[in-house]
Structure 1
């Protein structure tokens, strides 16, 4: 596990597809997160991703567990407020990877105990999407990494110059939004982020 790219509502999806087409070889997982989209629209987005070469097992859908299972995707991701648990989902769809967003140590331990396969923890650095909430920092990230046995991905304000700090925490990877979509050369950024596993190995 190295990095997840999360879709954005700040860029039309056809433009996201255009950027992804050139960066696809350096992307592990695409996480579709569009909370206002209908299931029909989400299905269209998935179809577009598959047309440019992404495999279904590389796609994670935010929150909609039944749809993710029906469409044979790689996984579903639960927001921190979701009442669903990984154990409940896996009873119906054992093939799905189930991830969850957490914002503190207690939430992380609870989601891990519920059977989550991985966690997003953040926001680690200042984030434009949450300007009024202080970042939690790398020390808090490291505390979560050390407290749970499942992979933890850092999220929030991730840029290439911050990869070293994240790697030293022992985090298993990173999850990105603006770090990719707002980059001048997304393809180049994807190449750097795709080195996180190697970078982590070299720097810890």
Structure 2
């Protein structure tokens, strides 16, 4: 299993960078998501990540495909409402990894047909970011995994005590927000998730 860490709006970015400094070696991809930020501010955030040693190919930018291409990042992630299609982005930047968020099997199949490389599906468990929306659960996650051939990553309420059952659905990985940022020792959480992913990969 691979895992992505999404940035959060709960704390100033410089505080997030401080937490990341000792955890980045155990994080596969860092997904910069700040829906309120200008492109200038997003570029500043990416520059801060670069200064602590995060390679460009390990940075995913949310939504802004043209900026991800211009800044030579590793990927772009499309929110559910995005009108971008994976194949259109690939025409501009064949090497760019393109992901998309989906919330049903139909959306997953459509996004796969549009040429994305991977999907986020959720929220799987109760999530602080969506307190008024019921979680979709593990059975729904498994159904989505089985409906497409591209990797599906679980998001929403993922914690270390839930990661084993998530892996049993066939999900290719997880995407974390509060599971990392709310932890008492985030760098230990990063080490745990990375270690679990290696074991899971080696035994499947």
Name the TM tier (shorter chain): over 0.9
Find the counterpart in structure 2 of residue 133 from structure 1.
133
TM-score (norm 2): 0.97
Find the counterpart in structure 2 of residue 17 from structure 1.
17
Determine the C-alpha separation between the residues in 1 that align with 2:103 and 2:109: 11
Determine the C-alpha separation between the residues in 2 that align with 1:43 and 1:28: 20
Find the counterpart in structure 1 of residue 197 from structure 2.
197
Determine the C-alpha separation between the residues in 1 that align with 2:186 and 2:197: 19
Find the counterpart in structure 2 of residue 123 from structure 1.
123
Find the counterpart in structure 1 of residue 51 from structure 2.
51
Find the counterpart in structure 2 of residue 102 from structure 1.
102
Determine the C-alpha separation between the residues in 2 that align with 1:92 and 1:175: 26
Determine the C-alpha separation between the residues in 2 that align with 1:157 and 1:149: 24
Find the counterpart in structure 2 of residue 29 from structure 1.
29
Find the counterpart in structure 2 of residue 184 from structure 1.
184
Deviations 1:177-203 (A, max 9, x none): 000011100000001111342343477
Q: Which runs of 5+ in 1 are unaligned?
A: none
Change (3 A) 1:152 1:194: same
Cα RMSD between the aligned structures? 1.2
Once the two structures are TM-superposed, the CA of residue 20 in structure 1 deviates from its matched residue by 0.1
Q: Which runs of 5+ in 2 are unaligned?
A: none
Determine the C-alpha separation between the residues in 1 that align with 2:7 and 2:186: 13
Deviations 1:99-133 (A, max 9, x none): 00000000000001111000000000000111111
Deviations 1:34-89 (A, max 9, x none): 01111111001101001100000000000000000000000100000101100111
1:92 matched to 2:92? The reply is yes
For the 8 Å contact 1:164–1:199, the answer to whether it is kept is no
Find the counterpart in structure 1 of residue 172 from structure 2.
172
Aligned residues: 204
Change (3 A) 1:74 1:202: closer
TM-score (norm 1): 0.97
